[in-house]
Amino acid sequence: MLIPALFLFIIAAGTLLLLTSVIAAHFFRYGVQKDKSRVIALVFVAGSILFLSVSSVLFFSIPWNDLLELISAPHFSL
Amino acid sequence: MIALHPNERILSVNRKVWYVFAAAYSIGVGLMLLPLIIVPTIGALFPVIRETPSLINILFLASTLWMWCIWVWLFLSFAAYYLDIFVVTNERVVHIEQKNLFNRVIAEVRLSRIQDITITIAGLFPTMLHYGDIRIQTAAEVSEFAFTQVTRPERLKELIMQEHRHAVAEESTLGRKSVIS
C-alpha cells in the first residue's frame, strides 16, 4: 500500500509546490517598486515549505504496508 | 516591476480597498481552521481511531494537505487582488489588471492625453468607507480607463488633474521652444 499512497502524495505535494512557485514568481515579477510583494512571496513560500515538511514527516510516520492488516484485525470495528 | 523612463517617478500606487479581499480572506481562514473541529469530532465519534496512532496520523496528514491547499488558494486570491494596480507617475497613468493567474492586461495613457476624469461614490458603504470608482476619458486609442473600488478616489482625481496640468504646460513649453529654434 506504500507505493499507491506515495504516488498520490507525490502528485498532491508536487501540484501544490508547482502552484506555490508560480504564484511566488508572480509576486516577484509583477510587484511595483518599493511595495511588499517580495516579502509576501517569501512568507508564502515559507508557509508552503512548512506544510511540505509537516506532511512529509506525517506521511513517513504511517506504516502504510501494515495498514490493511490493522484495519482488517478482528478487534478493529468502527 | 514597472519599467520607468529616465526622470520618471511613481507618485501614487493604488489598489482596490482591502474590504474586497476581506471576504475571500475570512472564508480561507475559516476553511483552514475546519480540521480543528472535524478531527476531534471524528475522534469523539469513533474511539477506535483515537486509540490507533497510525489512523490519527492519517487524519493529521489529510488535515495538513487540506490546510496547504487552502493556503495556496488564499495566496492565489491575494495575487489577483494585490497585483491589480493603478499607478500614477509624473508622465503617465498605468492600469495593470490581474484578472487571474495567466490573464494580465496592462494599459497606460500619457497624462497630457487625459480629457476628463469622473469619480463615482455610490451607496452607503462606499460613502462611509471612502471608496469608489474612477473613470478617465482619454484622447488615446483606449478611450476610457476605469478603476473600481479604489480608496479616496477624489484625492486620486486631484493628483491626476494636477499632474495633467504640469504635463500640458511642459508640452506647450517644449512646443514653443521647438517653434522658436
Q: What is the ipTM of this complex?
A: 0.89
* Furthest C-alpha separation in chain A: 65
**What are the angstrom distances between the C-alpha of B106 and each of A34, B7, B46, B85?**
19, 21, 55, 10
Alpha-carbon dihedral sign for residues B130, B147, A40, B18: positive
Q: Highest mean pLDDT: which of A60-74, B84-98, B162-176?
A: B84-98
Residue A78, in any domain of the structure:
no
In this structure, what C-alpha cell is assigned to residue B39? 478531527
Cα–Cα dist B47/B49, whole Å: 5
**What is the residue range of A37's domain?**
2-71
Kindly report the three-state secondary structure assignment for every residue of chain A: CHHHHHHHHHHHHHHHHHHHHHHHHHHHHHCCCCCCHHHHHHHHHHHHHHHHHHHHHHHHHCCHHHHHHHHCCCCCCC
Query: B86 - beta bridge partners?
Result: B14, B95
Write b or e for each residue in B156-175: b if 16 or more Cβ atoms lie within 10 A of its Cβ, otherwise e: bbeebeebbeebeeeeeeee
Question: Between the CA atoms of B140, B146, B151 and B155, what dihedral angle is there, to the nearest 10 degrees?
Answer: 30
Cα–Cα dist A44/A52, whole Å: 12
**Helix and strand totals (H; E) in chain B:** 5, 7
Structure confidence by residue, pLDDT tens digits, A46-58: 999 999 999 999 9
Residue A10, in any domain of the structure:
yes
Which of chain A's residues have a Cβ under 8 Å away from the Cβ of B84?
none
B55 CB burial (10 A radius; 0-12, 13-18, 19+)? buried
Compare CB distances from A76 to B48, B72, B87 and report the shortest one's residue. Answer: B48
Domain count, chain A: 1
**Per-residue pLDDT, B139:** 83
Model confidence band, residue B51 (pLDDT cutoffs 50, 70, 90) = confident
Complete edge-to-edge strand list for the sheet that includes strand B144-151: B114-120, B131-138, B144-151
Higher per-residue confidence, B100 vs A43: A43
**Per-residue pLDDT, A35:** 87
**B178: closest CA of chain A, how far (Å):** 34
Structure confidence by residue, pLDDT tens digits, A9-42: 999 999 999 999 999 999 999 988 888 999 999 9
Helix (H, G, I), strand (E, B) or coil at B57: helix
* Amino acid (1-letter code) at residue B114: I
Q: Highest mean pLDDT: which of A1-5, A70-74, B81-85?
A: B81-85
Write b or e for each residue in B112-151: b if 16 or more Cβ atoms lie within 10 A of its Cβ, otherwise e: bbbeebebebeeeebeeeebbbbbbebebeeeebebbbbb
User: Interface of chain A against chain B, CB under 8 Å?
Assistant: 12-13, 16, 19-20, 22-23, 26-27, 29-35, 37, 40, 44, 47-48, 51-52, 54-55, 58-59, 61-63, 66-67, 70, 76-78
**Per-residue pLDDT, A76:** 59
Model confidence band, residue B170 (pLDDT cutoffs 50, 70, 90) = confident
